[in-house]
Amino acid sequence: MEERNLPKKHDIILKNRREGNLSGVTDVISFDVNEILLETVEEMLEIKGRELHIKSLNLDKGEVEIDGVVDQITYSEPNSFAKNSASFLGRLFK
């Protein structure tokens, strides 16, 4: 299996609460129009809002682009979100 070239740091650039560029993302745990849950190189990241969409996703580079109305961004320890099963992408490509 090919190793990912993930950045060692995590950044968020949010423009007018409507467009976001994120780096340092290692996995997409779940997403819908009201919430996106991401695993980053540092912690879990929960983004809440309205009409949220993932515009582009490149986990090999650890990059995600989102759009929609962002109301809240919350970080937490990885253990606080139980991973009962495989990640979203793992379940998608079974």
* pTM beyond 0.85: no
Residue 16 domain flag? yes
pLDDT at 8: 77
Q: How many whole angstroms separate alpha carbon 45 and alpha carbon 92?
A: 21
Who's near 12: CB < 8 A, 6+ residues apart?
20, 21, 22, 73
Count the neighbouring beta carbons within 10 Å of the beta carbon of residue 87.
16
Residue 67 domain flag? yes
In order along its 94 residues, the chain shows pLDDT tens digits of 455 666 679 999 999 999 999 999 999 999 999 999 999 998 999 999 999 999 999 999 999 999 999 999 999 987 665 554 455 556 555 5
Residue 5 domain flag? no
pLDDT at 37: 97
Residue 41 contacts residue 15 (beta carbons within 8 Å): no
Look at the chain and report how many structural domains it folds into. Answer: 1
Residue 1 domain flag? no
pLDDT at 42: 86
| CATH of residue 24 | 2.60.40.2000
Residue 69 domain flag? yes
